[in-house]
Amino acid sequence: MFQNLDPLLHSQLRLAIVSLLISVEEAEFTYIKEKTKATAGNISVQIEKLQEAEYIKVEKTFKGKYPLTKCSITKKGIKAFEAYVKALQQYIQPAT
């Protein structure tokens, strides 16, 4: 039997954001934008959804006069990502 895939992570952009954050301590908004090649508005919406689910933590500060947004993955986000990957593997690997 196949496990359900987490609908929050099944979105291509949200999965990309979490995938980036799983491999770094934290990432600036501009880094996420550069790597995903998504628009700032779309990234903002997806980051908000991930933050509401407590999959990521968002820290807003200033760098000089400019706003700086940093994101990091939470323990809950790591667990959700690992469960998503495990569930996805069931779809990829044939049953033995």
Residue 27 burial (10 A CB sphere; 0-12, 13-18, 19+): buried
pLDDT of 2 > 70? The answer is yes
Q: What is the pLDDT of residues 35-72, one digit of tens each?
A: 999 999 999 999 999 999 999 999 999 999 999 999 99
- Looking at residue 27, its pLDDT comes to 98
Tell me the three state secondary structure of residue 95: coil
**What's the CATH fold of domain 12-89?**
Arc Repressor Mutant, subunit A (1.10.10)
Query: Mean pLDDT throughout 5-33?
Result: 96
